[in-house]
Amino acid sequence: MSTTFIPLNQLPVGSIGKVRALAADGIERRRMLDLGLIRDTTVESLRRSPAGDPVAYGIRGAVIALRSEESSKIFVESI
Predicted confidence (pLDDT) per residue in 19-29, tens digit:
999 999 999 99
- Say whether pLDDT at 2 is over 60: no
Whether residue 40 contacts residue 19, with contact meaning beta carbons closer than 8 Å, is answered with yes
Question: Cβ atoms within 10 A of the Cβ of 29, count?
Answer: 14
Closest-CA residue to 74 (of 36, 23, 38): 23
pTM across the whole model: 0.89
- Give me the CATH code for the 6-78 domain, please: 2.30.30.90
CA dihedral of 20, 22, 27, 33, whole degrees rounded to 10: -10
Question: Cβ atoms within 10 A of the Cβ of 7, count?
Answer: 14
